[in-house]
A and B are shown apart, each in its own frame.
Chain A
Amino acid sequence: MSNADDSNIPEPDEELDAEPESRDSPTEEAAKTTPKSLPLRVNNLRKEFGGITAVDGATFAVEERSLTGLIGPNGAGKSTTFNCITGVHEPTSGTVHFRDEEITGESPHKIAQRGLVRTFQLARELEEMTVLENMMLAPGGQSGESATRSVLPGLRSTVVEEEEAVRERAWETLEFFEIDHLAQELAGNLSGGQRKLLELARALMTDPDVMLLDEPFAGVNPTLEEKLLDRIHELRETEGLTFLLVEHDMDLIMENCEHVIVMHQGRVLDEGPPEQITENEEVIEAYLGGTV
């Protein structure tokens, strides 16, 4: 059980010499000629709960505009790592850097405001609010979130204008995910797959830079999964978003992610392109008959 070699993770200012073996996809080939930006870096993260060490020195980095997969058997510490990154738990030790600023242990809302946004495995849609309302909730910096600005006559007109703009963007995003026909439904009435879509769409409304998706495809039918992946790739191209994805569906990971991080027993077992991972015997052993 070896930790990933530290030298595999290039520091943002370092030159390309420290790069691991060459990658295949054209986008990466092109990216090779420019210094890589690493919006999210995790260093030696540890999280203990009482006697249990859920995360035991995890170190990895996520490249800009990438679709990076985070895999590992159950209990590997993936969700806990997510929680430590996003401020839900305070790590026992170790650091998290977002855009080269340390965010270790910051409160969840501050981290989200920075542009590092996550979705939940069990979608946390707000059941008593409509789909459209859920969407309108998400964007940050809404001046109407101040009660006085919402109430006072002169200031309210600004709020109304903003609301109209947000509403338009919400409709567009709903259409992008093809759930616009559900806009008036209470989010509690949606099916499992629809909730996942809403979760993703809503997170997108915050205008994030990096998205951490916790099993976004669980319970989603294959056609929809295809569409979602198309959307994700589209968002990477057009908006420059970065995605870190926790998933159990191996085919999906191997086919779509250019970089894969494997966790096992709280540590990073290996990271690299999919081919490297599938050939790593330790990884196969860790899964012991899991879907590869």
Chain B
Amino acid sequence: MSDDPVQTNDEPSLFTQVVRNDAFKVAVLLAGIWLLFYALSAFLEYPTYGVVATIRRVTFLSAVYAIAVLALNIQWGYTGLFNIGVAGFMAVGAYTTVILSADPGGVPPGFGLPLPIGVLGGILAAVVIGLVAALPALRLDADYLAIVTVAFSEIIRLTLNSPVLIDITGGASGFDNLPTSPVQSILLTDPGSIISEPTALGSFVFGLGEPLDLTRIVMINIVYTLGVLVVLLLVYLVLERAGKSPFGRVLKAIREDEVAAQSLGKNTQSFKVRAFALGCGLMGLAGILWYAMGPRASVVPANFRPELTFYIFIALILGGAGSNTGSIIGGAVFASLLYEAPPLLSDVAVKLLADYNVALPSAPDNVVVTLSTGDPLAVVAFLLANIDTLRFMFMGALLVLLVQYKPDGILGDRTETAAAVPLSDDSRPTNANAGGETDE
């Protein structure tokens, strides 16, 4: 506000402002992930469509994880509701959508409703089930809530798995009769058949892929992934608005000290129920986008085991509970570095060693033999062959380390005030007395 042309010490430089900007951070992260996976798959000499498919897959997983983590963030990061039933609500969303939208003539039969209705129905079902779980459970202590939500999630999974309801849900082998993919509906004249004539839009899109030899499937999946990214952006914007507002403020207060919030006249139970319902609805959405349609479509109970919930928790803690941007970053980092990267890295390591003429013995099939050979290369071979298992051990260790050293996550302890207007010192009314620096 001053006339002084010289920049005061308080105002950060343009560079700093840009770097601090959240969108910038996410963009850099995404670019970094793309670069990494490009490098890995190119090194492994994947054909072009393979490289593209790998990058697309990582992007897709990062996006759906991000949506699930954002949902959990509202419940736990903001409101302090420790919900370990995430997988169950994702299952409710996915299953409801496919049941509503699947072809009535298939097995198991669906209602044949248009997909948008199915999606809305899925989200609503997740909200309703969330409310059923919440209304009694929200009065309980945090760790009791945790146990109840995971019990609920298992009840849902076991019900979907049971032979009794197999005519409705498909039982343990899942709901085979998946509805038509939305992307295929707009790009192909006969959505059920990949080789059918493309629509006008379809021709355009497939044409874009031709110079790189990208097949139709790859292009369809790319379009779908872009769609998920758009949904992610919308969800983020909605949650940012909801969070940076009086609503978000009360949620944060509840997390820290519910009694204090009540003593200020806030009906905390109402807020908790709303936050829980909102989170569950978004979890349903994540489940739908991830498993009900698109490249990973597979509505099977085994996809919704408690492990999934814990992955999402790890991602949330990685990114920093309480921050929406942190949720996206955590989701992306988890999906890419912790989940997708290790198998690739293992292949890269094997190839590197081969390139340097290091003869790697074939991996022994168990630890005992490996150690008894006394051959370090055998150990390496064994580890590389078991990278999938090692990956989960590493996740466990990482979680412990995070709790011990960086409980606030990658982004560290940052102050994000929950208000619809800036609360910096600049916001002080100008007719006020010049800053009261009186002693206390």
Which A positions have Cβ atoms within 8 angstroms of B?
86, 88, 107-110, 112-113, 117-118, 120, 124-130, 132-133, 136-138, 140, 142-147, 150-151, 156, 159-160, 163-164, 167-168, 171-172, 175, 178-181, 183-184, 186, 191, 193-194, 197, 202-203, 206, 221, 224
Contacts and interface: CB of A to CB of B under 8 A. Distances in A.
Contact of A137 (B250, B259, B268): B250
Contacts of B267: 109-110
B263 to A, nearest CB: 6
A156 B246 CA distance: 11
B268 A136 contact: no
A242 B262 CA distance: 21
B249 A156 contact: no
A124 B423 contact: no
B433 to A, nearest CB: 6
B338 interface: no
Nearest to A179: B440
Interface in B245-301: 245-250, 252-253, 256-257, 259-268, 271, 274, 278
B263 A164 contact: no
B265 A129 contact: no
A130 B415 contact: yes
Given A137-B249, A147-B242, A151-B238, A183 B264 contact: no
Contacts of A168: 429
Contacts of B429: 168, 171-172
Given A160-B421, A163-B419, A171-B432, A178 B438 contact: yes
B245 A159 contact: yes
Given A138-B264, A163-B246, A147 B423 contact: no
B241 interface: yes
Contacts of B415: 130, 186
Contacts of B266: 109, 145
A145 B423 contact: no
A270 B242 CA distance: 52
A51 to B, nearest CB: 25
B13 interface: no
A180 B435 contact: yes
Nearest to A144: B246
Given A144-B247, A181-B435, A109 B421 contact: no
A112 B419 contact: no
A217 B314 CA distance: 44
Contact of A191 (B241, B423, B428, B440): B440
Contacts of A221: 440
B263 A167 contact: no
B423 A183 contact: yes
Interface string B195-218: 000000000000000000000000
A145 B275 CA distance: 12
A92 to B, nearest CB: 21
Given A133-B249, A146-B247, A184-B425, A140 B435 contact: no
Contact of B423 (A117, A132, A138, A143): A132
Given A113-B265, A172-B432, A175-B432, A144 B420 contact: yes
Contact of A150 (B247, B264, B417): B247
A194 B440 contact: yes
A137 B264 contact: yes
18 contacts: A88-B259, A107-B262, A108-B259, A109-B264, A109-B266, A124-B257, A128-B256, A129-B252, A129-B253, A137-B246, A150-B242, A150-B245, A151-B245, A167-B421, A171-B427, A171-B429, A171-B432, A181-B437
Contacts of A156: 241, 245, 420
B264 A136 contact: no
A124 B259 contact: yes
A178 B434 CA distance: 12
B440 A126 contact: no
* B265, B266, B433: residue with the most chain A Cβ atoms closer than 10 Å: B265
B262 A224 contact: no
A152 to B, nearest CB: 9
Nearest to B238: A151
Given A163-B421, A167-B421, A178-B438, A142 B264 contact: no
B424 interface: yes
B436 interface: yes
